[in-house]
């Protein structure tokens, strides 16, 4: 059996603004999805006929696969529909296992393929999640090529330059609201604000500047400033209509216990992230307020094949 695993992720700074060409910073987290594949006489997923599987991502990958029937096994610790990159982790791990089976598992190729799968399934996407899941650590996405450049991805006239950046050891708590929202709908909602209002465009500019300052704070290991910028980023996203009562109900009670906290991903539901020296205390508070809490740290491995780099 060929096995591969890949991490989930969160966006530390820059969601929504990245749609308009501004930079963003994402981090892989130590919640992983593992996929095993083995040649077989028929297609199965977790010992059931593959046709019963409802994952559009697996279906799209299998639509492109011409290597014969497979037994597929999946185990995931990345909560679905929570803004933590569950589909990217699944897609990257699945492609990693398949390419390992063919002895052609090269990270850049897998990241590009995974992005193309997500783009097809979602009807549009950025390579942020799939590149972060593949590389691990922290990733800086920009229109420009800068230090620690890894690769470029282009789609329909848009270009994303992917960079690795060094970050210190940090403890985060993820708080999952349980409220679901559509990424597509939230992107369209924010898009209407940006299109119709000079104020909305100014907010996007401010988020872009904030991301650059956040990168400098990460390089210094300045947790206080990182937290301040997380708070500012959340307020700016709120002005664009990306937050909601469920997200704010988890952020407000922990403000005095964290460096900073913000929504992560498209918003309208999903998850918050909090940077803190007291992760257990913060996790308990989030759960007292009805959220599901996970203490996470930065995953520096990215895509791992057969339990090894």
- Which residue numbers are catalytic? 129
β-strand pairing of 24-39 with 2-13: antiparallel
SS (H, E, C) the chain: CEEEEEEEEEEEECCCHHHHCCCEEEEEEEEEEEEEEEECCCCEECCEEHHHCCCHHHHHHHHHCCCCCEEEEEEECCCCCCCCCHHHHHHHHHHHHHHHHCCCCCHHHHHHHHHHHHHHHHCCCCCHHHHHHHHCCEEEEECCCCCCEEEEEEECCEEEEEEEECCCCCEEEEEECCCCCCHHHHHHHHHHHHHHCHHHHHHHHHHHHHHHHHHHHHHHCCHHHHHHHHHHHHHHHHHCCCCCHHHHHHHHHHHHHCCEEEEECCCCCCEEEEECCCHHHHHHHHHHCCCEEEEEEECCCCCEECCEC
Of 262, 255, 205, 253, residue with least CA distance to 231: 262
CA distance to 20, 233, 264, 307, per residue, from 165 (Å):
22, 20, 19, 24
Beta bridge partners of residue 34, listed in sequence order: 5, 75
Phi, psi (deg, nearest 5) at residue 159: -125, 130
């Amino acid at each position: 059996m060929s096995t591969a695993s890949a991490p989930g992720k969160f966006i530390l700074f820059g969601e929504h603004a990245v749609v308009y060409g501004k930079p963003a910073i994402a981090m892989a987290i130590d919640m992983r999805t593992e996929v095993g594949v083995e040649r077989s006489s028929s297609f199965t997923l977790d010992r059931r006929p593959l046709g019963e599987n409802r994952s559009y991502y697996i279906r799209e990958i299998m639509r492109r696969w011409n290597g014969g029937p497979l037994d597929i096994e999946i185990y995931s610790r990345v909560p679905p529909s929570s803004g933590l990159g569950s589909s990217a982790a699944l897609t990257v791990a699945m492609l990693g296992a398949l390419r390992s089976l063919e002895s052609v598992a090269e990270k850049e190729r897998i990241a590009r393929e995974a992005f193309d799968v997500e783009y097809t399934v979602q009807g549009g996407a950025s390579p942020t999640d799939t590149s972060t899941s593949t590389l691990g650590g922290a990733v800086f996405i920009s229109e420009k090529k800068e230090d620690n450049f890894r690769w470029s991805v282009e789609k329909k006239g848009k270009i994303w330059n992917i960079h690795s950046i060094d970050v210190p050891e940090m403890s985060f708590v993820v708080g999952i609201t349980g409220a679901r929202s559509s990424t597509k709908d939230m992107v369209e909602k924010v898009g209407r604000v940006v299109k119709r209002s000079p104020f909305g465009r100014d907010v996007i500019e401010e988020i872009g500047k904030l991301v650059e300052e956040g990168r400098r704070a990460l390089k210094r290991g300045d947790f206080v400033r990182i937290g301040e910028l997380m708070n500012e980023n959340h307020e700016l996203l709120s002005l664009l209509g990306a937050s909601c009562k469920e997200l704010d109900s988890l952020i407000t009670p922990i403000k005095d216990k964290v460096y900073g906290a913000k929504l992560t991903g498209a918003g309208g539901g999903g998850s918050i992230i909090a940077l803190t020296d007291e992760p257990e205390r913060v996790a308990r508070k989030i759960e007292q307020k009805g959220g599901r809490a996970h203490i996470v740290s930065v995953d520096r491995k990215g895509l791992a094949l057969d339990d090894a780099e």
